[in-house]
Structure formats: structure tokens, C-alpha cells
């Protein structure tokens, strides 16, 4: 249940933001499925659950550890899963399979049907760090980890004494120990790993996961990890600046969603002025950029639904041209900013954001008038995972709350609106009945 419940929560989140359907395939080892049935009741229409036939674990000795039971249950239910998946594939376009920590054997079935395999870690990011280095620990020490003379030092985490390692790693002779090492190898086959934790809670571990474990797939704390980049409804960059931005995004190593527009070397608001000049913006990107960043970012030409992106839990920052609407939308959704003003009153807005409200870091151009790629990467990393970003985010959170208060019935904006004379007359002279009509 401790694995099913967070997976259900994930499913609820996913359907909220995407027009998709989700099917749970539930394995079982013959024990009661009543509790699972209960939590799967009353789910939204787009989430469905299929209980596959029970597998038998009768051949296992009574003292078989839970972890071994979990893995064997999954291994033994693969043929049922394959059949059920086949049926599902006949009626729908199945794009991805999200798999529990103990379920990585299922990746092969996903592969067979051309679906992406994503691992969902129902434990902490710190546990994942430990998991990633457990084969190395296994090679380095021959004794039991409980007897380790020094604590284990995981990148970005506090030192961990051997006796505090998870149970299945405490007994080398037990079959479960071998299964753990086997699962870690399998993790490498996932297209990505989602962790049910969040960046601010395990900052060090998430940074470590990003940089220090080559060979493992990218790890995503489900919220606040994507930078949204957009210059309003018509802002454009010069072609040189566009390339610097692309390189900066790539160098930052952060995930991004970039609304790209064809560059213009004369006017920063060219797209407002002329639609005719619009060429394919992808032609102006550095060679191989899209391919190299395909697992990191998404580039969308011309237009995206900004509000839907800003209210999405995965959006952790917004690189904006500082149009006032974009600012208000960011405040209402609590998204901290990189301020990159282009023209009109946008520089003034950038001052307000970065020097007064302190919810944005403002970009600086070099002597050639360009914001360089290294600087861009620095701003982005600072915003998404740096300490400064955390401060900006905290202040933006306060501002978001203030905005919500202002909009309440007795909030400052609502009160001001009523004070506008005409609205006041309107408000007092008409009955509620009329207003509803
Ligand atoms: N917008 C959008 N998608 C885009 C670009 C812009 O939805 O790809 C919307 C954005 O949400 C905002 C408006 O267009 O409401 C732009 O207004 P703003 O004052 O920020 O900038 P301007 O376009 O006037 O420079």
C-alpha cells in the first residue's frame, strides 16, 4: 500500500495536467486485495485499475524476506502483464509505463511494446543515492555493512553509518541482498526516474543525483525542476543572442521548456511588427542542439499556453522578458524569475522585480551587449537549484499569498474595485437577482 498510494497520487497529478488515461496493473501473491481495492475506488474516470491473476509463492521458505517476495511476484506475473498489455495496446496508444521500485523486470515488457520505461521511487532521494552506489560498496567491502569502520559518504548527503543502511543490505547471505544489487543494474535501463520527494527537502541528494552517478538515468523530483523560457507575445532576440541562450540552457544541465521565435537582428520586438519575416526558428539554433538536449528540454515554436505552464507543478522558474502580464501571472502562480527585459517598460519592471520585490535575478549583458552563455547557465542553475533561487522562491511564495489575499472578496483589490464610482453605483442599485441574469 505504501507504494500504491503515492502512485495513485502521481496518477491524479498526471491527469490533471495532461489529457491522458492511466491504467494500473496490480500484481498479487494470493493475499487479500481488499485494501488495494478500497484505495482504488472512486478514482477519476481517466484512471483505471486491473487486478492480474495471483501468482504463487508457495515454493518459497517461510522466512523469505519481503523484498525477495516483491521481486518474485513481479517476475512471475510478467506473462499475465504481457497479455493484459497486449489487449490495452489494441485499443490505445500506450506511451509510457511507470514502474514501482521493485518492478524493474517489467521494463522488458514496456520495451517489447515500444513504451517508455519510467521508474517511480517511492522512497527518498537519499535512498536512491545509496542504491546507486551499492554495487560499488559491495565490491569495496567484503564484510557486513553493519561493521563498516567509516560512515558511508553519499554525494550531497549527511554521512550514513553502516548500521543505518536498509535491511536487505544488512545481510549478504540473504537472497534479498542479491536482488537489491540486481535491481540497481536494472534501474539503468529506465528512461528516467521520478522521486516522491522535493528539491528543497533533499537539495544535496538531488544535486548529487544530477551530477555524480554516470550511467544512471536522469532523476526528477516531481516538482519545480523545469525552467520556462519565453519573451512574451512578440519579443525576439538577435541571432547571436539566441545561440548564446541555447548554449546557456544546455550548459546549465537544467530541464527547460522554451518558446522560441525567429531571431531579428534589428528590433527586439520584431514579431509584433511583422509576421512575414517569421522563418523556421529551429534553423537558428546551434548544430545538434535539439538532439543533444532531447532528454533535457522541449523547444516550442512561437506560442505556448503560458498560464497552463506557470500553474504546472513542474515549473520551477521563468526566464521572462518582464512584460507586465507575464509578471502578474508568475506572481499569481508563485514562480520565481530570471528578468531579461527587452524593450518598452520592461527594464523598469525588471528593477521592481530584482531590486525592490527581490523575486527575480536580472541578467547583465557584457561589453558586446550580449548575455553570455556561461552567465546564462549560472543564472539558471542559481534559480532552479541554488541558495539564491531558494530565497527568490520563498519571497515569490509570500507574494503569491499576498496576491491571493488581494483577490479575496474582502481583499484590497476587490475593495478598490468597489470604490470605483461607477462600479459602486452598479453594485448598489441593482439587485443580486438582476446580476445573476
Ligand atoms: N503568452 C502566452 N504564450 C506565449 C507568449 C505569451 O500565453 O507563448 C501570453 C502571456 O501569458 C501573457 C501575454 O501573452 O498573458 C503576454 O503579455 P506580456 O505583458 O507578458 O508581454 P507582451 O507580449 O505584451 O510583451
Q: Is the pLDDT confidence value at 201 over 90?
A: no
Q: At what angle do helices 203-211 and 125-140 cross, to 10 degrees?
A: 50
Cα–Cα nearest to 206, from 14, 426, 20, 390? 390
344 exposed, middle or buried (CB, 10 Å; 0-12, 13-18, 19+)? middle
303 lines ligand 1 (CB under 6 A): yes
Atom of ligand 1 nearest to the CA of 303: 8
426 lines ligand 1 (CB under 6 A): no
Residue predicted with more confidence, 96 or 214: 96
**Dihedral (CA of 325, 326, 327, 330) sign:** positive
**Dihedral (CA of 338, 343, 349, 350) sign:** positive
14 lines ligand 1 (CB under 6 A): no
Mean pLDDT of 227-252: 95
Pairing of strands 255-260, 96-100: unpaired
Lowest mean pLDDT among 311-320, 330-339, 346-355, 418-427: 418-427
Mean pLDDT of 190-214: 85
Q: State phi, psi for 395 to the nearest 5 degrees.
A: -65, -40
> 351 C-alpha vs ligand 1 centroid, how far in Å?
19
Cα–Cα nearest to 160, from 178, 134, 142? 134
Q: Whose CA is nearest to atom 4 of ligand 1?
A: 303
Pairing of strands 96-100, 297-301: unpaired
- Residue 386: predicted pLDDT: 87
208 lines ligand 1 (CB under 6 A): no
Lowest mean pLDDT among 54-58, 71-75, 265-269, 374-378: 265-269
With the most atoms of ligand 1 within 8 angstroms of its CB, the residue from 300, 319, 325 to mutate is 325
Q: Cite the active site residues.
A: 3, 100
> 326 C-alpha vs ligand 1 centroid, how far in Å?
6
398 lines ligand 1 (CB under 6 A): no
> 310 C-alpha vs ligand 1 centroid, how far in Å?
12
> 404 C-alpha vs ligand 1 centroid, how far in Å?
21
343 lines ligand 1 (CB under 6 A): no
Residue predicted with more confidence, 34 or 80: 80
Which segments of 293-372 does DSSP mark as H helices, in order? 306-310, 324-333, 346-351
> 234 C-alpha vs ligand 1 centroid, how far in Å?
8
- Residue 270: predicted pLDDT: 62
With the most atoms of ligand 1 within 8 angstroms of its CB, the residue from 228, 229, 326 to mutate is 326
The span from the CA of 54 to the CA of 68, in Å, is 16
Atom of ligand 1 nearest to the CA of 272: 23
CB distance 98 to 122 below 8 Å: no
With the most atoms of ligand 1 within 8 angstroms of its CB, the residue from 233, 302, 312 to mutate is 233
- Residue 271: predicted pLDDT: 65
Residue 269's pLDDT band (boundaries 50, 70, 90)? low
**Span 15-33, pLDDT tens digits:** 887 789 999 999 988 888 8
The span from the CA of 339 to the CA of 199, in Å, is 23
Residue 432's pLDDT band (boundaries 50, 70, 90)? very low
Q: Is the pLDDT confidence value at 112 over 80?
A: yes
308 lines ligand 1 (CB under 6 A): no
**Span 274-297, pLDDT tens digits:** 544 468 999 999 999 999 998 889
324 lines ligand 1 (CB under 6 A): yes
- Whole-number mean pLDDT of the chain? 89
Percentage of residues in the chain having pLDDT higher than 90 = 68
Q: Burial letters for 113-125: b for 16+ Cβ neighbours within 10 Å, e otherwise?
A: eebebbbbbbbbb
Q: Whose CA is nearest to atom 22 of ligand 1?
A: 232
ipTM above 0.90, yes or no: yes
The span from the CA of 63 to the CA of 41, in Å, is 33
Taking the whole predicted model, whether its pTM rises above 0.80 is answered as: no
Residue 435's pLDDT band (boundaries 50, 70, 90)? very low
Reported as half-sphere exposure (CB side, CA atoms, 13 A), residue 64 has a value of 14
229 lines ligand 1 (CB under 6 A): no
Percentage of residues in the chain having pLDDT higher than 70 = 93
232 lines ligand 1 (CB under 6 A): yes
149 exposed, middle or buried (CB, 10 Å; 0-12, 13-18, 19+)? exposed
- Residue 266: predicted pLDDT: 77
**Span 352-406, pLDDT tens digits:** 999 999 999 999 999 999 999 999 999 999 999 888 999 999 999 999 999 999 9
306 lines ligand 1 (CB under 6 A): yes
E strands, 363-406, in order: none
Q: Is the pLDDT confidence value at 253 over 50?
A: yes
CA 274 → CA 243, 267, 280, 392, 400, distances in Å?
22, 11, 14, 36, 36
Mean pLDDT of 404-433: 68
* Grid cell listed for 276: 512575414
Q: Is the pLDDT confidence value at 175 over 80?
A: yes
Q: Is the pLDDT confidence value at 436 over 50?
A: no
Mean pLDDT of 121-143: 93
Atom of ligand 1 nearest to the CA of 232: 23
Amino acid at each position: 500500500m505504501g507504494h500504491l498510494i503515492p502512485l495513485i497520487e502521481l496518477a491524479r497529478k498526471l491527469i490533471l495536467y495532461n489529457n491522458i488515461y492511466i491504467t494500473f496493473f496490480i500484481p498479487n501473491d494470493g493475499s487479500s486485495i481488499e485494501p488495494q481495492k478500497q484505495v482504488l475506488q472512486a478514482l477519476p474516470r481517466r484512471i483505471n485499475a486491473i487486478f492480474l491473476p495471483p501468482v504463487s509463492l508457495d515454493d518459497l521458505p517461510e522466512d523469505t524476506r519481503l523484498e525477495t517476495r516483491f521481486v518474485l511476484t513481479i517476475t512471475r506475473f510478467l506473462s499475465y502483464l504481457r497479455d493484459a498489455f497486449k489487449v490495452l495496446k489494441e485499443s490505445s496508444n500506450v506511451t509510457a509505463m511507470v514502474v514501482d521500485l521493485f518492478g524493474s523486470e517489467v521494463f522488458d515488457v514496456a520495451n517489447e511494446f515500444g513504451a517508455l520505461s519510467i521508474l517511480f521511487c517511492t522512497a527518498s532521494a537519499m535512498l536512491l543515492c545509496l542504491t546507486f552506489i551499492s554495487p560499488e560498496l559491495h565490491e569495496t567491502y567484503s564484510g557486513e555493512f553493519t561493521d563498516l569502520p567509516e560512515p558511508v559518504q553519499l554525494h550531497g548527503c549527511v554521512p550514513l553509518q553502516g548500521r543505518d543502511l536498509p535491511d536487505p543490505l544488512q545481510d549478504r547471505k540473504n537472497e534479498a541482498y542479491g536482488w537489491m544489487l540486481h535491481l540497481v543494474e536494472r534501474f539503468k535501463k529506465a528512461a528516467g526516474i521520478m522521486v516522491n520527494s522535493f528539491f528543497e527537502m533533499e537539495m544535496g541528494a538531488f544535486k548529487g543525483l544530477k551530477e555524480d552517478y554516470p550511467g544512471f538515468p536522469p532523476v526528477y523530483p516531481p516538482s519545480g525542476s523545469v525552467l520556462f523560457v519565453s519573451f512574451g507575445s512578440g519579443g525576439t532576440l538577435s541571432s547571436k543572442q539566441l545561440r548564446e541562450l541555447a548554449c546557456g540552457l544546455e550548459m546549465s544541465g537544467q530541464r527547460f521548456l522554451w518558446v522560441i521565435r525567429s531571431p531579428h537582428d534589428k528590433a527586439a520586438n520584431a514579431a509584433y511588427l511583422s509576421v512575414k519575416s517569421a522563418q523556421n526558428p529551429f534553423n537558428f539554433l546551434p548544430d545538434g542542439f535539439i538532439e543533444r538536449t532531447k532528454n533535457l528540454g522541449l523547444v516550442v515554436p512561437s506560442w505556448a499556453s503560458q498560464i497552463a505552464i506557470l500553474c504546472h507543478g513542474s515549473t520551477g522558474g521563468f526566464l521572462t522578458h518582464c512584460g507586465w502580464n507575464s509578471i502578474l501571472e508568475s506572481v499569481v502562480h508563485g514562480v520565481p524569475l530570471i528578468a531579461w527585459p527587452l524593450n518598452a517598460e520592461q527594464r523598469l519592471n525588471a528593477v521592481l522585480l530584482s531590486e525592490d520585490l527581490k523575486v527575480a535575478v536580472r541578467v547583465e549583458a557584457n561589453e558586446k551587449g550580449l548575455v553570455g552563455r556561461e552567465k546564462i547557465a549560472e543564472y539558471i542553475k542559481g534559480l532552479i537549484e541554488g541558495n539564491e533561487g531558494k530565497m527568490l522562491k520563498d519571497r515569490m511564495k509570500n507574494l503569491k499569498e499576498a496576491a491571493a489575499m488581494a483577490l479575496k472578496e474582502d481583499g484590497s483589490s476587490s475593495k478598490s474595485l468597489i470604490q470605483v464610482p461607477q462600479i459602486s453605483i452598479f453594485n448598489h442599485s441593482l439587485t443580486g437577482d438582476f446580476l445573476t441574469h
